[in-house]
């Protein structure tokens, strides 16, 4: 499925969600509930770069291992991704 991501600064969540709903309904021949019945749990925002070759992507990702992130939990997946979550300092 293509077309469900925000791009070029376009962040109309309702429009994006309606398009995703239509894509899922068409792909799986189902009818999903209207948006007023949905619960928004999380929105992930990312930046996309064209690094031309996979080896460049791997180097870029692995470089993050050398950096320090205060108050963050990091999980590294060699050559694939970095997951950064906030630590919880409740006392």
- Give the residue extent of every domain in the chain: 1-48, 49-91
4 or 54, which is more confident: 54
30-76 confidence digits (pLDDT tens): 999 999 999 888 777 677 778 899 999 999 889 988 887 787 888 88
* SS3 state of residue 51: coil
48 alpha carbon, distance to own chain's centre: 10
Q: Which long-range contacts (CB under 8 A, 24 or more apart) does 36-43 make?
A: 40/13, 43/13
Q: Residue 29: its pLDDT value, please?
A: 97
User: pTM of the full predicted structure?
Assistant: 0.47
Contact 3, 19 (CB under 8 A): yes
Predicted confidence (pLDDT) at residue 13 exceeds the cutoff of 70: yes
pLDDT of residue 90: 57
The DSSP element (H or E) to which 76 belongs, if any, is: strand 72-77
């Amino acid at each position: 499925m293509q077309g469900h991501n925000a791009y070029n600064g376009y962040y109309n969540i309702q429009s994006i969600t309606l398009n995703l709903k239509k894509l899922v309904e068409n792909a799986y021949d189902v009818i999903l509930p209207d948006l007023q019945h949905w619960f928004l749990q999380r929105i992930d925002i990312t930046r996309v770069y064209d690094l031309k070759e996979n080896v460049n992507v791997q180097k870029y990702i692995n470089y993050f291992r050398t950096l320090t992130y205060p108050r963050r939990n990091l999980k590294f997946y060699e050559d694939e991704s970095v997951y950064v979550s906030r630590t919880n300092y409740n006392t």
